[in-house]
Structure 1
Amino acid sequence: MKLAIFGGTGRVGKQVCEQAIEDGHQVNLLVRAEADWMQHPNIQVTVGDAKKAEDIEKVLDGADAVFSGLGTDKTTTLTEFSEAIIPLLTKHGISRIVTIGTAGILNSRHEEGKYRFQTNESNRKLTFAAEQHAHVYERFARTDHQWTIVCPTYLPDGLMTGTYRTEVDYHPEDGNQISTGDTAYFAYKQLHQKDITPSRIGIAY
């Protein structure tokens, strides 16, 4: 399999890259600056901007599926990326995309029709990042692509245990954290799933 990966230098994205390489897959990687660890025969690196369609398209060429670990980083990079990549996925005949979101864009359990970040189910006072992720979800929801948005809550650095809980469209009850290792492991597995139903998936211990 050839994977196009965006946000591959981040805490989750880098681990997805490592798993793909370990399994013998080819990785097309878009980065702002190349690092030593990217020197691998199965990694093809493009230095560019995830907000620019022409740079995104270079990475999509020949890809079977896409992973994005891009975050908001207090900018509109995430929403600009989503707007740019959606028509390119159609152009290149790529249906499968897995992205990392946030638990804030899952459904509220107690206030119908609202996201968690819009209610007291979320502890965050600032909502810019969640609003950016919500825009991405709403944009993908209007497509025919096979998308999955993995939505972790508090995300400390940590190893993969393989033991966690998931729930479609909702945050697992009483879950208060999930490691970067388990988030990457779960997201990577989603790239290989068959018969995909587009969905947001909450993940927590």
Structure 2
Amino acid sequence: MQRILVFGSTAPSGFPLVRNALQDYPEAKLVLCVRSPQKLPADIASHPSIVLTEGQLDDTTAIDRALNGVDAVLSALGPSSPKHPKDKTPIADFYAALLGLMRKRGVKRIVLLGTASARDPRDRFAIGFKAMTASVYTLYYPGFNEFRAIGQVFRSEAAKGIEWTMVRVPFLTDGESETYVVGYPGDGKAGTRVSRKAFGKFAVRELKKREWVGEMPAISNP
């Protein structure tokens, strides 16, 4: 893999995603599509394998240009602002457009951040996950609605022919542990806490291992 496009690299979960990609793909160029490059830590911004390109999520011309020569896509995009719209899903809309551009460019692989707000048929009832999603629904409905819509996009015809993996995370922490377990809500494996570092490690490894193509695994720290 020679060229990887990364979205959400200036988000807290984006930093470990980029650092793991630099570690696991030392020969590759990482194209970071950003709105605010000044938010990048110095070790990432100055790395010789990093290529910066500026663009908004709704700028399809810039996104299409960034996809040129890319082998795969990583994304840590997610809603976080209190100003995120309640009745719109701009990130889901972005993904719908991105998938079409990926097909046009012949880019088939994407690994992205998700949450349990995006339901999977293998999910089972678990009180911890039920409480978690209910609290997000109540306290930050725009985030719940956005991730639910993102899941719907990847389960739709928009993702036809794309080898996608949505890495669903529970409550994210700044813990140091990179150890993770993988499963589904209610299966006795996945818990309700995971470090951002563990998310970054799993997402980058899954890019190559391809063990969860077309699936929405839930990860957590043990």
- Whether TM exceeds 0.5 here: the answer is yes
Quick check: 1:55 aligned with 2:56? no
- The percent identity for this pair of structures is 26
Partner residue in 2 for 1:109: 124
1:161 offset after TM fit, Å? 2.9
Alignment of 1:1-205 (within 5 A): 1=1, 2-22=3-23, 23-24=25-26, 25-35=28-38, 36=42, 37-73=44-80, 74-75=84-85, 76-107=89-120, 108-110=123-125, 122-124=133-135, 125=138, 126-142=140-156, 143-162=160-179, 164-168=180-184, 170=185, 173=188, 175-194=191-210, 197-205=213-221
RMSD of aligned C-alpha atoms? 2.3
1:201 offset after TM fit, Å? 0.7
Aligned length: 198
Mark the CA change 1:161 to 1:86 in structure 2 (over 3 Å): closer, same or farther. closer
In 1, are the aligned partners of 2:118 and 2:152 still within 8 Å (CA)? no
In 1, are the aligned partners of 2:118 and 2:150 still within 8 Å (CA)? no
Q: State the alpha-carbon separation in 2 of the partners of residues 45 and 79 from structure 1.
A: 23
1:150 offset after TM fit, Å? 0.4
Q: State the alpha-carbon separation in 1 of the partners of residues 210 and 20 from structure 2.
A: 19
Q: Give the unaligned 5+ runs of structure 1.
A: none
In 2, are the aligned partners of 1:178 and 1:204 still within 8 Å (CA)? yes
> What secondary structure sits across from 1:136 in the alignment?
helix
Q: State the alpha-carbon separation in 1 of the partners of residues 11 and 154 from structure 2.
A: 22
1:96 offset after TM fit, Å? 0.6
Quick check: which one's helix share is greater? Answer: 2
1:26 offset after TM fit, Å? 1.0
1:195 offset after TM fit, Å? 6.5
Moved more, 61-70 or 151-160: 151-160
Q: Give the unaligned 5+ runs of structure 2.
A: none
Residue identity opposite 2:163 in structure 1: Q
TM-score (norm 1): 0.86
Residue identity opposite 1:56 in structure 2: I
In 2, are the aligned partners of 1:106 and 1:151 still within 8 Å (CA)? no
Moved more, 31-40 or 144-153: 31-40
Q: State the alpha-carbon separation in 1 of the partners of residues 4 and 150 from structure 2.
A: 20
1:106 offset after TM fit, Å? 3.4
Mark the CA change 1:19 to 1:51 in structure 2 (over 3 Å): closer, same or farther. same
Moved more, 45-54 or 15-24: 15-24
